[in-house]
Amino acid sequence: MTPDPTPDTTPDPAPDPTAHTRHGTLDDDDARTVLDIDLLIDDPGTRIVVCCGAGGVGKTTTAAALGLRAAERGRKVVVLTIDPARRLAQSMGIDSLDNTPRRVKGIDDGSGGELHAMMLDMKRTFDEIVEAHADKDRARAILENPFYQSLSAGFAGTQEYMAMEKLGQLRARDQWDLIVVDTPPSRSALDFLDAPKRLGSFLDGKLIRVLMAPAKVGGRAGMKFLNVGMSMMTGALGKVLGGQLLRDVQTFVAAMDTMFGGFRTRADATYRLLQAPGTAFLVVAAPERDALREAAYFVERLASEDMPLAGLVLNRVHGSGAAHLSAERSLSAAETLSSENLEDGRIVDQGGGKAGVRNTPDSPDAPTNSTNSANSPEVTGSSAATGSAARLTIGLLKLHAERMQLLAREQRTRDRFTALHPEVAVTEVAALPGDVHDLAGLRDIADRLAAGGPPAGATA
């Protein structure tokens, strides 16, 4: 069988670090660097975009929206998601995604672009590696091994490593202009980066060397060596793992012996690929304290690993069309309206500008007709309607105050992040009123990504 080629990690010319940024202004006193998404995805030198971040911040939607926009601007794109929720398939109008890239229909392909999508099948990817790098008999022995079946289905770190393997395979085929990766929903999004190192540590570990020793000796001599020279070791392992599991592990290790070097080689090559100039990392975060704290950690970690960071996508940012009305003024107006116009639960529609002044028989302008008194049905009805309107107004003022307080909190958290990392370009995506479930919704997100600036009223 022909093995998958090792990813080409020949470095491209070093890019200008400001090539995908532009300078924007939030207000007269707040200048910042804005990430220009269109410059990033239009650049033919950008071959891989990796979306990383904490769980629940919109990585999958961001990855899909980026892929859609790049395809509609003329690039041949594949989006690789590791999200088990299958929302990517639903939003792209595909019944299901699997380990094979599937073309997305319904995009605007007037510029000659294509959009493909796939979802990582961890076990199938592992099986493909075995089938590609072992002869038929050895591959069958590995695939039928109970320990391998457990390992490939859910061993800690396997998903992240297989995501790296699949990325390496996609890049090596050179079939797409751009690969957009939605990283696994792990406790730490950077498990994706750690997977090759963890695999190398596992393969070089003492336990593996012990279990490989009988296979290296071979035949009866090997079994004698195992039974005599390591009887204490295997006895202890047998008690911990169980005799049958230990035999399954030993059989698996013996069958995989010739493949371990290939795992390490490909893992190292993919890691170098992630450090190459053609790769761009986007950290996705919500404008919340915990999410931006995680984002700061990702930014620092990427820098320490020499990974090329394109910028931060600040997702679900809130805005207001009435930002000129502060929370304080809104609450003050609500309090005034409540205390003056709802006193004793009575409001009279004065019409002529005397709102809040009750007519009494002693007042100079008091009506003489009893049917026009404050207790008449007409005035009572007007009072009830005005009271209802006032209560609605008070509620809206308080709701607006809450929104402005939310905007202020988001602004403070963003400012803390930018103060710590002024070098990081940022694009802000205004919050949508509902979930994204089709191409039109993804296109809306993509437009907001490309706009770069905050939504109306996002500044406090």
Non-local CB neighbours of 339 within 8 Å, separated by 6+ positions? none
**What would the DSSP string read from start to end of 333-402?**
HHHHHHHHHSGGG-----SSS-TT----TTSTT--S-GGGSTTSHHHHHHHHHHHHHHHHHHHHHHHHHH
Predicted local confidence at residue 78, as pLDDT = 96
- What is the phi/psi pair of residue 53, to 5°? 155, 175
Residue 308 and residue 317: Cα distance in Å, rounded? 25
CB 182 within 8 A of CB 60: yes
Residue 50 bridge partners (DSSP): 181, 281
Predicted local confidence at residue 76, as pLDDT = 97
Predicted local confidence at residue 359, as pLDDT = 45
Helices and strands (H, E) in the chain, number of each type: 17, 10
Reported as a single tens digit per residue, the pLDDT across 333-361 is 778 877 766 554 544 444 444 444 444 44
Predicted local confidence at residue 258, as pLDDT = 64
Choose among 30, 69, 23: nearest CA to 419: 30
Residue 77 and residue 181: Cα distance in Å, rounded? 11
Q: How many angstroms from the chain centroid is the CA of residue 246?
A: 39
- In a structure prediction context, what are the per-residue pLDDT tens digits for the chain, which is 460 residues long? 444 555 554 544 444 545 566 544 443 345 568 899 999 999 999 999 999 888 888 888 899 999 999 999 999 999 998 766 667 777 787 777 888 899 999 999 899 999 999 988 888 888 888 888 888 888 888 888 887 887 777 665 677 778 888 888 899 888 999 999 988 765 555 677 777 666 656 655 555 555 555 544 444 444 444 444 444 444 444 444 455 666 777 677 776 666 766 777 777 888 888 899 999 999 999 998 888 988 898 899 899 989 999 999 999 888 777 777 877 887 887 788 777 665 545 444 444 444 444 444 444 444 445 445 555 555 555 666 666 787 888 888 888 888 888 788 888 988 899 899 999 999 999 888 777 888 999 999 999 999 876 665 554 3
Residue 25 bridge partners (DSSP): 31
Residue 65 and residue 450: Cα distance in Å, rounded? 10
Report the b/e string of 274-289 with b at 16+ CB within 10 A: bebebbbbbbbbbbee
Residue 90 and residue 96: Cα distance in Å, rounded? 8
Structure tokens at 45: 């030198």
Q: How many angstroms from the chain centroid is the CA of residue 271?
A: 21
Predicted local confidence at residue 388, as pLDDT = 79
Choose among 301, 277, 214, 198: nearest CA to 249: 214
What is the chain's percent helix, strand, coil content, to nearest 5?
55, 15, 35
